[in-house]
C-alpha cells in the first residue's frame, strides 16, 4: 500500500509573506525579496517531480493601486529569482466583489489543481495567514501555515499544521500527513 505522502503531487504557495517579503501592493519588480531558503525548498520539490504553483490575492488591481501588467512584472521577477512555477493563479478582485477565487474561497486552489490535472486532495498549500488555511481546507488540500510577525495568534491556533519556515513546512509535507 502506498503511503499518504506519495499522494502529494503539488505544492502551492501564497506569494506575499510566504515566498517573498510582503511589500504591500508591490508593483515594482526591484522590490521583490525572496525569503531565505525559498529557492532551496522549491528546487527540492522540483527535483522530486512535484509540481509547484503560486496562488495570490492581488486586490490592488481592483482598488486601482496596481495594474495587471505590474502584477505580471512582479510575478516574472519572482520566477526569475525562484525558478519556474507550473501554475500561477491571481485573483484581481477586492474584498467585497463576491468572486469565487479570492482566498479564503477555494477557487484559485481548485483551478490550479485542475490545470495541473490533479485532485485538490493531492495538493498542499503553504501560506502565512488564516485565509490561506481556510482556502486550503475549503478546497480539500492540505494546509501548512508559516507565520510571520503579521500572522494573528488566533490564525496560528486555528491552523492544522504550523511550521517555523518554508524548509520546515516542506519537510512536514514530505513526511506525510499528521
Active site (catalytic) residues: 14, 16
For residues 112 and 99, what is the distance between their CA atoms, to the nearest angstrom?
A: 16
Q: DSSP of 9-57, one letter per residue?
A: -EEEE-TBTTTB---TT---GGG--BPTTHHHHHHHHHHTT-EEEEEEE
- Three-class SS state of 71: helix
Q: How many angstroms separate the CA atoms of 162 and 97, rounded?
A: 30
Cis? peptide before 104, omega within 30° of 0: yes
Element (H, E) at 91: strand 87-91
d(CA 62, CA 66): 8
Radius of gyration of the chain (CA): 15
Amino acid at each position: 500500500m502506498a503511503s499518504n505522502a506519495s499522494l502529494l503531487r503539488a505544492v502551492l504557495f501564497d506569494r506575499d509573506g510566504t515566498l517573498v517579503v510582503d511589500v504591500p501592493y508591490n508593483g515594482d519588480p526591484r522590490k521583490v525579496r525572496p525569503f531565505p531558503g525559498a529557492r532551496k525548498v522549491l528546487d527540492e520539490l522540483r527535483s522530486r517531480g512535484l509540481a509547484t504553483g503560486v496562488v495570490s490575492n492581488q486586490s490592488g488591481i481592483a482598488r486601482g493601486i496596481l495594474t495587471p501588467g505590474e502584477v505580471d512584472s512582479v510575478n516574472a521577477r519572482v520566477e526569475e529569482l525562484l525558478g519556474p512555477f507550473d501554475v500561477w493563479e491571481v485573483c484581481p478582485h477586492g474584498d467585497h466583489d463576491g468572486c469565487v477565487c479570492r482566498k479564503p474561497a477555494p477557487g484559485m486552489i481548485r483551478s490550479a489543481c485542475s490545470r495541473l490535472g490533479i485532485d485538490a486532495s493531492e495538493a498542499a498549500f503553504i501560506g502565512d495567514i488564516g485565509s490561506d488555511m481556510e482556502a486550503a481546507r475549503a478546497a480539500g488540500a492540505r494546509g501548512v501555515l508559516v507565520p510571520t510577525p503579521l500572522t494573528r495568534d488566533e490564525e496560528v491556533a486555528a491552523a492544522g499544521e504550523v511550521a517555523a519556515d518554508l524548509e520546515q513546512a516542506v519537510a512536514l509535507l514530505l513526511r506525510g500527513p499528521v
